[in-house]
Structure 1
Amino acid sequence: MNEEKFIRLKKNFKLRNIEVQYFETLENVKSFILNIIPIKCTIGIGHSVTLQKLDITNALLERGNIVYDKELAKNREECKDLKKKALITDWYITGSNAISIDGQIVNVDHSGNRVAAITFGPDKVIIVVGKNKVVDTVDEAIRRVKNVACPLNAKRAGFNPPCVTLNKCVDCVSKERVCNSLSIIEGQSDSNRIKLFIVNEECGF
């Protein structure tokens, strides 16, 4: 993403009360997150390939934070419990399926826990995205979510809706579909709540 596009993106999100920062590497992001989040805080994690690569959960646990990450669950019931606890944490860290230069954050969820937490619940939200997730408009963001992110995430999670074979969305009603909740964040009433961290790397789907 060139400098002109980033300046426009940052301006558009600022108008919507969402803070944007740019980082060269995931390691830079990780260090920054560990600096701004106090040790005496609870943290929820929204599952993301980007966050797996960032390995932020282990870093937070090792220094003493209480972290609710469904990936730490031993069974389905514990997974559900961790998702619920993550909704009322001090901080929530997640990725995103797409963001637009116009100023929208677009995500799709299987169970809905991630989009719910981004919308309301945790006091502060950090969204980490690679440069590959940035598109010009909200329409392009939705297309990206449905035709790129959903098929790849479905395959990764072991589901087999039609989009996995076709590599595109056909608006199915398959029991295997992972795109049950589509969320478009267009702004925030609290100007300090959502922080969007864009990384100059290809990250996740």
Structure 2
Amino acid sequence: MKNYISLKLKRGHAEMDVDIKVLKENFRLRNIEVEAFDSLNEIKAYILNIIPSNSTIGIGHSLTLQKMNITHLLSERGNIVYDKELSKSREERQAVKKKALIADWYITGSNSISIDGRIVNIDHSGNRVAAITFGPDKVIIVVGKNKIVNTLEEAIKRVKNVACPLNARRTGLNPPCATLNRCVDCVSMDRVCNTLSIIEGQSETGRIKLLIANEDAGY
């Protein structure tokens, strides 16, 4: 992969080049590993190679992971996979989310990452951000280039004003942002942004791997 990724910022329509070497170094200083790939297919092969077939795996809901079909591939080869999307009832869904919190590995996407070294997510129930923060021994976060912004402030803005409205509509919820396409800090029971998480560093070396694809993926 080249050292530069071309992407469109959500602020206007100007294109900018992201220096992956700079991004990697900023995350390295925060004890988070970054690998860049040409495609999600390459990331899929990488994940299947580094995760042992006898490991338990939790899945954080992600359109990116669904596109990769990673749950099926891991299950097919023998891994025990806890993916709430396979649940048949609300009770089973809750149980699966709790089991995912103590799996050996946790794989998820992210709402936004910043070149200065932050990972920003907003959750409806909080299970995904909880697992990223603590629980599983290893965490893999997969993002497309469209999730990259310059700063923490831009990352939070992107999450609230881009990802949240789209995810609300996708799940059939109707907070104000689903109509307005922007955050108004509502108190709606339908709000999808109940828990804001900012990963600014990692105390355990090698625990979090951030995998970036040179293609757009997810919201």
Q: TM-score, normalised by structure 1?
A: 0.99
**Residue 174 in structure 1 maps to residue 174 in structure 2:** no
Residue aligned with 2:66, SS: helix
C-alpha deviation, 1:129, in angstroms: 0.1
Residue aligned with 1:129, SS: strand
**Residue 139 in structure 1 maps to residue 153 in structure 2:** yes
User: In the aligned structure 1, how far is the partner of 2:158 from the partner of 2:68?
Assistant: 22
User: In the aligned structure 2, how far is the partner of 1:173 from the partner of 1:50?
Assistant: 29
Who is 1:105 aligned against? Answer: 119
User: In the aligned structure 1, how far is the partner of 2:201 from the partner of 2:19?
Assistant: 19
User: In the aligned structure 1, how far is the partner of 2:172 from the partner of 2:66?
Assistant: 17
Q: Which of these residues, 193, 197, 200, is aligned with residue 211 of structure 2?
A: 197
Residue aligned with 1:35, SS: helix
C-alpha deviation, 1:5, in angstroms: 1.9
Who is 1:60 aligned against? Answer: 74
C-alpha deviation, 1:4, in angstroms: 5.7
User: In the aligned structure 2, how far is the partner of 1:191 from the partner of 1:154?
Assistant: 35
Which contiguous aligned blocks of 4+ residues in structure 1 show a shift greater than 4 angstroms? none
Query: 1:26 is aligned with what amino acid?
Result: L
Bigger proportion of residues as helix? 1
Who is 2:199 aligned against? Answer: 185
Query: 2:112 is aligned with what amino acid?
Result: A
**Residue 7 in structure 1 maps to residue 21 in structure 2:** yes
Counterpart mapping for 1:79-90 below 5 A: 79-90=93-104
Deviations 1:39-81 (A, max 9, x none): 0100000000101101100000000000000011000000000
Q: TM-score, normalised by structure 2?
A: 0.92
User: In the aligned structure 1, how far is the partner of 2:54 from the partner of 2:159?
Assistant: 35
Residue aligned with 2:130, SS: helix
Q: Which of these residues, 167, 189, 212, is aligned with residue 153 of structure 1?
A: 167
Identify the structure with bigger relative contact order (alpha carbons < 8 Å, sequence gap 6+): 1
User: In the aligned structure 1, how far is the partner of 2:152 from the partner of 2:20?
Assistant: 16
User: In the aligned structure 2, how far is the partner of 1:72 from the partner of 1:172?
Assistant: 31
Bigger proportion of residues as strand? 2
Point out where structure 1 has 5 or more consecutive residues left out of the alignment. none
Who is 2:36 aligned against? Answer: 22
Residue aligned with 1:50, SS: helix
Query: 1:133 is aligned with what amino acid?
Result: K
**Residue 75 in structure 1 maps to residue 89 in structure 2:** yes
User: In the aligned structure 2, how far is the partner of 1:58 from the partner of 1:176?
Assistant: 30
Query: 1:58 is aligned with what amino acid?
Result: H
Q: Which of these residues, 122, 128, 143, is aligned with residue 136 of structure 2?
A: 122
Who is 1:91 aligned against? Answer: 105
Who is 1:33 aligned against? Answer: 47
Q: How many aligned residue pairs are there?
A: 205
RMSD: 0.8
User: In the aligned structure 2, how far is the partner of 1:77 from the partner of 1:19?
Assistant: 35
